[in-house]
Structure 1
Amino acid sequence: MWVAAVLVLSVAHIVRRFKKRAEEDDDSAPSRAVASVLLLAALVVALAQTIVVGVLADLAREFGTDAVGATWMLTAFMLASAVATPIAGRLGDQHGHRRVIVTGLALLAIGSVLTAVSVGAGWYSGALLGRVVQGFAGGVFPCTFGLARQVLPGQRLPRVIAALSAMFGVGGAAGMVVAGPLADVAGTSAVFWTIAGLSVIALAGSGALPRHQAGNPQSRGFDITGGVLLAAALVSLLLAISQARSWGAASPATVGLGIAVLVFAGAFGAVEHRTAEPLIDLRLLFGRRLIALNVATVVTGLGMFAAVTLLPLLAQAPPQSGYGFGYSAARTGLLIAPIGVCMTVAAPVTSRLAGQKKGARGVFQAGATLAAVGLLGLCAFHDRPLHVAISGAVLGLAYGLAFGSIGTLVVDATPPEQTGAAAGINTILRTVGGAMGSAIAVAIVAASSTSHGPPTEAGYKTAFLVSAAVVGLAALIAAAIPATASDAHLRDEIRE
């Protein structure tokens, strides 16, 4: 349980740092409470997405299924979240973000209880349904940005936005770290009971959120057709990515889904272009201020999540393979704990660094560059646990800087009334990039196997090298992100 203790202390550290700075800037207790609730809500949702990664083998054994069947426990959440996130962001902009946050946390609690009970009873279908219900809580994440922007004082907002953005990575890393030790001590069901408990705490804390937060009075329509087409395109894309390895990249199912993505995406673009109240303003995807950021987000997620996916496989590979450590799930969690710890440590300083000469764009580029260094370290030095842990620490700092600055960049480039929608789009792009990175990395490693034997060390080296090149490309793409007026404004606020 040392892993869980380290993560809890690290998250407590970021909360204390945040509160200390908040007290220096503003003595308003209500705004401090709002920020704390938003951070907890974002953290719990991010935890819920990845917490199954460390216990997939246990779930396969308990349900009597294979690795592909167990992977659906992750895929089900991702698909539901992909559908809910952009729709929730739009609804929050229209009708108030608090309502969406409360609804999402309630669904997370219900889905977590259903999953925990189903795992305990060995009911696979019930567990999948529970994960789908959990996934609908993905809409909480973009609405935390929208609510923060509307109700928090200006001097505190940059730091909260940076912390919220970092929570996507912090929670994701923490979920993978704590699941193994928790399952070893209290059983696999305890993983989902933990999420249920945290979501209830966040739901109780939502009483501190403004009850009469207004939406956009000029935008009350909802684009049902656009929502259906977007959901179909996202589900087809993520389903193809997540199942390509088991189905085969050239299988009829995978190819058919690829065609479906193009058809649904094209129809969605045509509908949104002609609709007076579009679900997503296409300028949020392809506008001058956001196109480079959105592309960089996908590329960064692709490169970074590849490493997070490969490290447990590397650590748990038997030493007879010539490169693994033969670790259990709990020891694997300890090995990759530096990623979550360093990401948590980096999050509070992101906004302060963004106030320096280079601004948020420079912080993002620094994070992407540092990630490339960490991935190159894994490529060259992975023969000892200490070497892997050091590279993981570098990656954690990189994740904290890159993900922490993305939220600031999105807010800088978006009108206040579209914050939820823009944050929802960016969140989905991170998820899509992460899913693609995980699938590509695993495919590269699997391709190194010969005669049905285990993957070779060369496969891991190649995957880490490709990932390093990808995140290096993200740093170059980020150079095209326009500087915004708020960069200078943020620098002035922090210096004061």
Structure 2
Amino acid sequence: MRTSASTQPRPGVLITVLALAGIVVSLTATIVVPILGQLPQIFHTDASTTAWAVTATLLAGAVATPLTGRLGDLYGKRKIMLVALIPLIAGSVIAALSGSIEWMIVGRALQGLATGIVPLGISVLRDLLPADRVGSGIALMSSSMGIGGAIGLPVAAAVAQYTDWRILFWAVAVISALCGAAILWIIPATKPLAKGKFDPVGTVGLSVVLVALLLAISKGASWGWGSATTITMFVVAVVVALAWGWWELRTPAPLVDLRVTARPQVLLTNLASIVVGFAMFAQSLIIPQLMQLPVETGYGLGQTMLQMGFWMAPAGIAMMLVSPVGAKISAARGPKTTLIVGGIVMAIGYGSSALFMGSLWGLLVTSVVASAGVAFAYGAMPSLIMGAVPRSETGSANGVNSLMRSIGSSISSAVVGAVLAAMSVDLGGYTIATEDGFRTGLLIGCGVAVAAALIAVTIPAKFTPGMAVGHGHHAPAPAEDEELVAAAS
């Protein structure tokens, strides 16, 4: 019999189902990486066109994440999670059957629409878990994006190398359908807490802002940072953002409640999310390149895509193993402390990787350390957000927080890419970043991680030992939460 709201599933089963859904969603970020260099030959086009197979997923995910969160608050989180899985399944099938790059891009964009499942799943955990399990559940769910990406890379590389690449997308379609069945069967339907109507004007406005901003950031290097197209995109993003903010402050049921978002605990946590997203992505840009560059460069380690994937996989496993530790720190000292620790651990990982660039084992250890810091930070930020917003807005607030991480990752890609391009040499007809370029990129990651810890120090989060992290449904709602609900209504 399917679980209902009156028959709660066991916490471990609930966490497992939602974490697996998050891992499957995160696979869409890395599934195309092993075949990205082959796509121009597969579809008989140029590399700049096939790059949209990545960009389309990024843009669709950025637009869908806050939208999914708000819809979950309004109409029920489980219902919207199931709806979000539909384009993931359809997009995977379209990509598997694609005979042209245009259809591949369409499929990848549809896959990106499921990105909001992770922050929505975090909100579900807050609603359904006992108070003593909320922290560990949130930590694992938050880490699922990194776990899926790290584990999925070697698996995708192996499949692409030894079988047909289309199997990758068929596999995601099948696993996504199984996740949908598990969510329908196990996750109870909870009553929506938010009131009001959906905000179509705010949705269109935010979508235009995000698409223009992320296109300018992700394509600025290839278009030219001073080109008319890039500047136009930035101008559109700023102008529409101002108009969107004006609308959101005046509409009775906004897509994003900017007054709640402006609360210091929420605002500073979201700022920290941008910085953490930057620091996390810098590592994934630099270390794989170092591992795969030819040894003839003097600093490359000569690994194949498959070998590199296996060297990077322990980082994802580390995130899974340390997420409960982060939850315990949050329970004992508060999520603010966990976020500070996460920033410091990331900085240690980056700093040591700059010293041990010439060793596979050195890069393995340092990527594991940095990923452990990411796990601490990822688990702490949703708890900080949900401790400062009314229950009726947890889906929307978590969606915005997840969006901030995505923006940070996009900025990281642009900045690190610019640094590596500026510090490069011509080798055999190929432009390759120098050893100093890679070291500079790693040191930037170190500095940004320190900045994340410093921002976390300024977050005005109050914590009492024994207080449930995230305020699980078995814990009495604090008076502060009632005040937030009143303020938002």
Asked whether the two chains share a fold, i.e. TM above 0.5, the reply is yes
Q: CA deviation at 1:211?
A: 5.5
Q: Which of 55, 72, 90 is the matching residue for 2:35?
A: 55
Pick closer, same or farther for the CA change 1:490–1:186 going to 2, 3 Å. Answer: same
Q: Deviations over 1:179-212 (max 9, x none)?
A: 2122112232122222112201101102234564
Of the structure 1 ranges 481-490 and 88-97, higher mean CA displacement relative to structure 2 is found in 481-490
Pick closer, same or farther for the CA change 1:175–1:238 going to 2, 3 Å. Answer: farther
Are 1:434 and 2:392 matched, yes or no?
A: no
Q: Structure 1: how far apart are the matches of 2:423 and 2:187?
A: 55
Q: Which of 482, 486, 490 is the matching residue for 2:460?
A: 482
The CA RMSD over aligned residues, in Å, is 2.1
Q: How does 1:351-366 map to 2 (within 5 A)?
A: 351-356=327-332, 358-366=333-341
Equivalent pair of 1:73/1:128 in contact (CA under 8 Å): yes
Q: How does 1:311-460 map to 2 (within 5 A)?
A: 311-356=287-332, 358-450=333-425, 453-460=431-438
Pick closer, same or farther for the CA change 1:334–1:158 going to 2, 3 Å. Answer: same
Of the structure 1 ranges 30-39 and 263-272, higher mean CA displacement relative to structure 2 is found in 30-39
Pick closer, same or farther for the CA change 1:215–1:28 going to 2, 3 Å. Answer: closer
Equivalent pair of 2:85/2:114 in contact (CA under 8 Å): yes
The residue matched to 1:244 in structure 2 has which SS?
A: helix
The structure richer in helix per residue is: 1
Q: Which residue of 1 aligns with 2:141?
A: 164
Q: Structure 1: how far apart are the matches of 2:360 and 2:460?
A: 41
Equivalent pair of 1:83/1:230 in contact (CA under 8 Å): yes
Q: Structure 2: how far apart are the matches of 1:324 and 1:210?
A: 47
Are 1:112 and 2:101 matched, yes or no?
A: no
Pick closer, same or farther for the CA change 1:235–1:487 going to 2, 3 Å. Answer: farther
Q: Structure 1: how far apart are the matches of 2:291 and 2:44?
A: 24
Q: Which residue of 1 aligns with 2:22?
A: 42
Are 1:280 and 2:260 matched, yes or no?
A: no
Q: How does 1:148-227 map to 2 (within 5 A)?
A: 148-210=125-187, 212-216=189-193, 219-227=195-203
Q: Deviations over 1:350-370 (max 9, x none)?
A: 2112122x3211111111111
Q: Structure 2: how far apart are the matches of 1:485 and 1:107?
A: 40
Q: Structure 1: how far apart are the matches of 2:339 and 2:35?
A: 32
Pick closer, same or farther for the CA change 1:48–1:431 going to 2, 3 Å. Answer: same
Equivalent pair of 2:66/2:400 in contact (CA under 8 Å): yes
Number of equivalences: 463
Equivalent pair of 1:112/1:193 in contact (CA under 8 Å): yes
Identity %: 34
Q: Structure 1: how far apart are the matches of 2:168 and 2:268?
A: 38
Equivalent pair of 1:98/1:209 in contact (CA under 8 Å): no
Q: Which of 139, 147, 166 is the matching residue for 2:124?
A: 147
Q: CA deviation at 1:32?
A: 4.1
Q: Deviations over 1:128-150 (max 9, x none)?
A: 10011111112222221222222
Q: Structure 2: how far apart are the matches of 1:228 and 1:50?
A: 28
Equivalent pair of 2:139/2:375 in contact (CA under 8 Å): no
Q: Deviations over 1:219-255 (max 9, x none)?
A: 1311111110100000111111111121121111111
Equivalent pair of 1:338/1:396 in contact (CA under 8 Å): no
Q: Structure 2: how far apart are the matches of 1:472 and 1:485?
A: 23
Equivalent pair of 1:166/1:404 in contact (CA under 8 Å): yes
Pick closer, same or farther for the CA change 1:67–1:386 going to 2, 3 Å. Answer: farther
The residue matched to 2:448 in structure 1 has which SS?
A: helix
Counterpart residue identity of residue 324, structure 1: G
Of the structure 1 ranges 49-58 and 266-275, higher mean CA displacement relative to structure 2 is found in 49-58
Q: Structure 2: how far apart are the matches of 1:49 and 1:285?
A: 28
Q: Structure 2: how far apart are the matches of 1:232 and 1:61?
A: 33
Q: Deviations over 1:354-401 (max 9, x none)?
A: 122x32111111111111111112212111211111111111211211
Q: Which of 259, 277, 287 is the matching residue for 1:301?
A: 277
Q: Deviations over 1:333-360 (max 9, x none)?
A: 012122112112112222112122x321
Equivalent pair of 2:280/2:371 in contact (CA under 8 Å): no
Q: Structure 2: how far apart are the matches of 1:149 and 1:57?
A: 41
Q: Which residue of 2 aligns with 1:8?
A: none
Q: Deviations over 1:233-287 (max 9, x none)?
A: 0011111111112112111111111111101111111111111111100134321
Gaps of 5+ in 2: 1-6, 473-489
Gaps of 5+ in 1: 1-26
Are 1:78 and 2:83 matched, yes or no?
A: no
Pick closer, same or farther for the CA change 1:486–1:70 going to 2, 3 Å. Answer: farther
Q: Which residue of 1 aligns with 2:475?
A: none
Pick closer, same or farther for the CA change 1:268–1:459 going to 2, 3 Å. Answer: same
Q: Normalization by structure 1: what TM-score? A: 0.89
Q: CA deviation at 1:317?
A: 1.4
Of the structure 1 ranges 384-393 and 421-430, higher mean CA displacement relative to structure 2 is found in 384-393
Q: CA deviation at 1:486?
A: 6.5
Equivalent pair of 1:34/1:208 in contact (CA under 8 Å): no
Equivalent pair of 2:50/2:101 in contact (CA under 8 Å): no
Q: Structure 1: how far apart are the matches of 2:377 and 2:270?
A: 13
Counterpart residue identity of residue 454, structure 1: I
Of the structure 1 ranges 35-44 and 171-180, higher mean CA displacement relative to structure 2 is found in 171-180
